[in-house]
Amino acid sequence: MSAEDRLRAAARARTDLITGVRPLELPHEIPARVRHSRPASRWLSWGAPVAAAAVVTAVALALVLLRQAGGPQSRPSAPASGSTAAASIPRYYVELADVGSTSDQMKAIVGDDHNGRLIADLHPTASQNFYGVTAAADDRTFVVMSYDNLNPQTTWYLLRIAPYTAHPATLTKLPIKPVFAHVSGLALSPDGRELAIMYRTATTATNAKTFLTVYSMSSGAALNTWRMNGPQNDIIGQDGNGVGLTWVDGDRTVDFLWSVPARETAPGKFIPGKKTLRALDVTAVGHDLMADSRQVMEFPAWVTNKQARTWTEPCANVLPARDGTVVCGSAGGSNVSGVAAKVPQSYAGYSAATGKPLHVIYRSDGPVLSANYQVLWTDPAGSHAIAHLLIALKGVKVPGGNKFGVVGGGRFTPLPPLIDPGGAVDNPGGIAF
Amino acid sequence: MKARPGAPGAAGTPPASDARASNARQQVSALYAEHALPLVKLAILMTGEQETAEDVVQDAFLALYRRWPSLRDTGSAVGYLRSTVLNGCRMIHRVRHRRRGVVLDPASPAASAEAEAMIGEAHREVLAALRRLPPRQREAVVLRYHLDMTEQQAAEAMGVSRGTVKSATSRGIAALARMLKEEDR
């Protein structure tokens, strides 16, 4: 029986048990009438489009004049922030996307973020499914993670790209022993020589064991494995693949996210939970994931603004940069269903040494229902990032205002759209630069 | 409806505001009678707890009641309710996540646990795996495979694009299949 059929049967079995609901309790207060704004005047109804057309024409004319006066044409669609860091973002990316409209399989797409062009389209075999990708720092080397549905195990493929050549992409199976487990994180070292993966060997809170293993890319040998038993290890990587596993410090250290759940010390008395970043020196000896790693920082908790009826989590999305800065992307939204609110959102750099905010990379506070600022890549200094902004706007029929581009110096510079904007970009591990 | 003593219009016809309230109450109550049960069923698949699911649905109808006078198209009320229920379930997920982190197999209240005990081990595994999915994937697979919505209908209910529904459904089903195979091993 397929997963879809099992889901249908289980959902029906569970919901069939519910035969009634408690009565509706409405307040005695009278619903307030909300004044509708006055319809736009007749002038606005035709004047606004005409004015917009005039502005577009003027901008187009100005661009033509600038191009004619500016000598050789610059590279199309490159980030226009004017900063050197923005210009040095990786050009090529690998994104996971649906194989076809009726298939549940995911393929790998190689794209060019300077011009939005497709470089290569890589399909898994019939029984396989790509479900995670990671990149080295050379803009040419990637590792794709694959799950075999017939023989349930995870294997890894080296993906080398040679854009705009006769053979733009080569996929080679890595000699790493398959893992019979749910792989929650993967990270290729920037020099492309080692692959770190994090995985669990069970799926319940009581018998789960978490492992972090570093493999040699050339031989496939496991160089070392760190292990963690106990009730806390059910938290890691719960939201997907590639969550918070990052190489820093000259490929000597792997940072990983670790959430500590709230703990009940006495009936009704709790020690609050926390979300932390830990650093593991992979050049040192040892096999204990917790004892051999150290806490780098604890992320600020989410805050609720009761007056504005909004919530914000400053570090909902986290990516450590190589030099000791941690880039945080926030999430937030309105606490009132269907009502947009002005919510301060930001990309910010935090010091891994002190845990304090260092600088704001980009900030906005426009009205949204909710927003989630994802960090897809950061430069070594943590001053610029490739960003994906998931923004839910008012009105259920309005598609989310998703944005893809570079943030830095307080500015957002859009990049050409991804090859498949509906792919796995909003899933951790679903895209790599 | 009996007019309140002392209120304007009490001597004769009911005041217009009371009439509005009565009308809103009747219409929202009628909607509740027709749609509350399927919405609770939807919410229980999202949250795993019947009491929480009923709270979320009550809140959605309360929000609808408060907005009723400003609704231009009352025919869209069911769509509004479904979106509000999904938002409420997401909020529950976020609160749980912050309070205790999201555990792989969240403890359920006794009533929910008792209910799930009646449906068999195989179905319990599927529901536990469903609850381990990220919220967006969980919403997408439930809307598509339990409510049999089209991609466009699910996109409107979730407030996202059709492409997002497609990818979230695909990833959700793939993740479910992986987890169920691991459970079966």
Residue pLDDT, tens place only, A52-96:
666 556 655 555 444 443 333 333 344 444 444 445 899 999 999
Mean pLDDT, chain A, whole residue set: 79
Task: With beta carbons under 8 A apart, name residues in chain B contacting A10.
Answer: 119, 122-124, 126-127, 130
Nearest to B58 among A25, A205, A398 (CB): A25
pLDDT over 70 (residue A136): yes
Cα–Cα separations (whole angstroms), residue A137 to A28, A247, A347, A363, B55: 63, 11, 22, 27, 49
pLDDT over 50 (residue B7): no
pLDDT over 50 (residue A33): no
> Which span out of A172-176, A197-201, B64-68 was modeled with the highest average pLDDT?
A172-176
pLDDT over 60 (residue A251): yes
Task: With beta carbons under 8 A apart, name residues in chain A contacting B79.
Answer: 396
Cα–Cα separations (whole angstroms), residue A161 to A33, A99, A143, A175, B71: 60, 20, 11, 19, 54
Q: Which pLDDT belongs to residue B106?
A: 34
Q: Which pLDDT belongs to residue A271?
A: 67
How far apart are the C-alpha atoms of A71 and A55, rounded to whole Å? 25
CB contact under 8 A, A31 and B67: yes
Task: Report yes or no: A185 and A134 within 8 Å, Cβ to Cβ.
Answer: no
Q: Which pLDDT belongs to residue A185?
A: 83
Residue whose structure tokens are 């040419």: A140
Instruction: Name the residue with higher pLDDT: A17 or B99.
Output: A17
Task: Report yes or no: A391 and A401 within 8 Å, Cβ to Cβ.
Answer: yes
Q: Which pLDDT belongs to residue A56?
A: 59
Residue A209 sits at the chain B interface (C-beta within 8 Å): no
Give mean pLDDT, residues B117-133. 81
CB contact under 8 A, A30 and B20: yes
Beta bridge partners of A112: A92
Helix (H) or strand (E) holding A138: none
CB contact under 8 A, B105 and A260: no
Q: Which pLDDT belongs to residue A261?
A: 63
CB contact under 8 A, B134 and A240: yes
Range with lowest mean pLDDT among A375-389, B87-101, B109-123, B156-170:
B87-101
Residue pLDDT, tens place only, A381-396: 999 999 988 887 765 4
Domain B119-185 CATH class label: mainly alpha
pLDDT over 70 (residue A170): yes
pLDDT over 90, % of chain A:
37
Give mean pLDDT, residues B66-88. 77
Environment class of residue A60 by beta-carbon count within 10 Å: exposed (0-12), middle (13-18) or buried (19+)?
Answer: exposed
Fold equal for B15-111 and B119-185: no
Q: Which pLDDT belongs to residue A187?
A: 93
Residue of chain B whose alpha carbon sits nearest to that of A151? B181
Instruction: List the structure tokens of A93.
Output: 């990316």
Measured in degrees and rounded to the nearest 5, phi and psi for residue A389 equal -105, 115
Instruction: Name the residue with higher pLDDT: B67 or A328.
Output: A328
Cα–Cα separations (whole angstroms), residue A380 to A248, A284, A299: 9, 23, 20
Range with lowest mean pLDDT among A219-228, B8-17, B88-97:
B8-17
Q: Quick one: fold of B15-111?
A: Rna Polymerase Sigma Factor; Chain: A (1.10.1740)
Helix (H) or strand (E) holding B168: helix B162-184
How far apart are the C-alpha atoms of A117 and A120, rounded to whole Å? 9
Mean pLDDT, chain B, whole residue set: 72
Nearest to A400 among B60, B145, B160 (CB): B160
Q: Where are the domains of chain B?
A: 15-111, 119-185
Instruction: Name the residue with higher pLDDT: A271 or A222.
Output: A222
Q: Which pLDDT belongs to residue A232?
A: 44
pLDDT over 70 (residue A108): yes
CB contact under 8 A, B174 and A104: yes
Strand-pair category, A384-392 with A370-378: antiparallel
- Window B:33-72, CB contacts with A under 8 Å: 36-37, 40-41, 44-45, 50, 54, 57-63, 65-70, 72
Residue pLDDT, tens place only, B137-176: 888 999 998 888 888 888 878 777 777 788 788 888 888 8
Task: With beta carbons under 8 A apart, name residues in chain A contacting B121.
Answer: none
Q: Which pLDDT belongs to residue B17?
A: 54
> Which span out of A30-44, B21-35, B91-105 was modeled with the highest average pLDDT?
B21-35
Give mean pLDDT, residues B29-53. 87
> Coil, strand, or helix at residue A391?
strand
